[in-house]
Copies of this chain bind each other. A is one copy, B any other.
């Protein structure tokens, strides 16, 4: 165990897509837990698109922009290395908002135990964590997907999209994906079991959407917003449902968007529902009990995009926010 805590701080204001040099690594002493607190050594650090607007103070989790020298917030999986709380013992694995750093102290009521025997530890940040819960809330709670329906999924190779489609398929629906490369699309179809996947960077997009989904879809899961939402509305069936849960297209604020016309939503009599995953925290166990066996039995596939070492967090975030990642973005910080 090192005797220092390395953490990432904001080095300069972010404009557009974040760059690695918007962040800087600083070294401090390992913090000391106070009364009732625990000290956690982080094993995995989660990088997620919502962290971009959160850093800018424009997200439901944060309405205050991060200042220079402050540490971005993020979910972590870690191991308790020191405990002043009877509910946790040294060696316990936990999930909490540890931030972009190697160690953190936490109050016990903000920390949740995770079990490496139930599922691989990293999946608690991805397919079985917040992204998985988002997919569950979308398909089961808001869209109420039924056997025989069809679902279009944006960002289909990512942790949310891959789980949206796989839940839909397991419920007897047909899943169509949209992703940003032929390689991602092959994964979506061959490994995840989607019926088809459309590459939105191909020359024939968006015409390819209507060509390859001629009968339309009952449900569209939207993590992108903007023009992607408008394009997807084009293949929504009348009276279809749109779950709006992300705005990747607009998180890098410099992009202003083209003209935006919701005419298709009206014409289709769409029902569009905003989703905030935190509303479904009380369904986390229900979701986990459903999906963890699928993961253990290999019925659900997933892919991770890993970086090693806290000093690479900024570059990995740049990779994520410029769409170069392929799978759930994680930073590996230590052994387990």
Contacts and interface: CB of A to CB of B under 8 A. Distances in A.
Given A258-B256, A259-B256, A260-B226, A276 B269 contact: yes
Interface in A241-298: 244-247, 250, 256-263, 265-276, 279
A265 to B, nearest CB: 5
Contacts of A256: 258-259
Contacts of A262: 225, 229, 244, 247
A269 B279 contact: yes
The dominant DSSP class at the A interface is loop
A74 interface: no
A60 interface: yes
Given A244-B262, A272-B272, 19 more contacts: A58-B263, A225-B263, A229-B262, A244-B265, A247-B262, A250-B259, A250-B263, A256-B259, A257-B261, A260-B260, A266-B276, A267-B276, A269-B274, A269-B275, A270-B274, A271-B272, A271-B273, A271-B274, A272-B273
Closest 7 pairs between A and B when the two form their complex, measured CB to CB: A260-B260, A256-B259, A266-B274, A272-B272, A257-B259, A269-B274, A270-B274
30 contacts: A53-B263, A58-B263, A60-B266, A60-B267, A225-B261, A225-B263, A229-B262, A244-B262, A244-B265, A245-B266, A247-B261, A247-B263, A250-B259, A250-B263, A256-B258, A256-B259, A257-B259, A259-B260, A260-B260, A265-B272, A265-B274, A266-B274, A266-B275, A266-B276, A268-B274, A269-B273, A270-B272, A271-B271, A271-B272, A271-B273
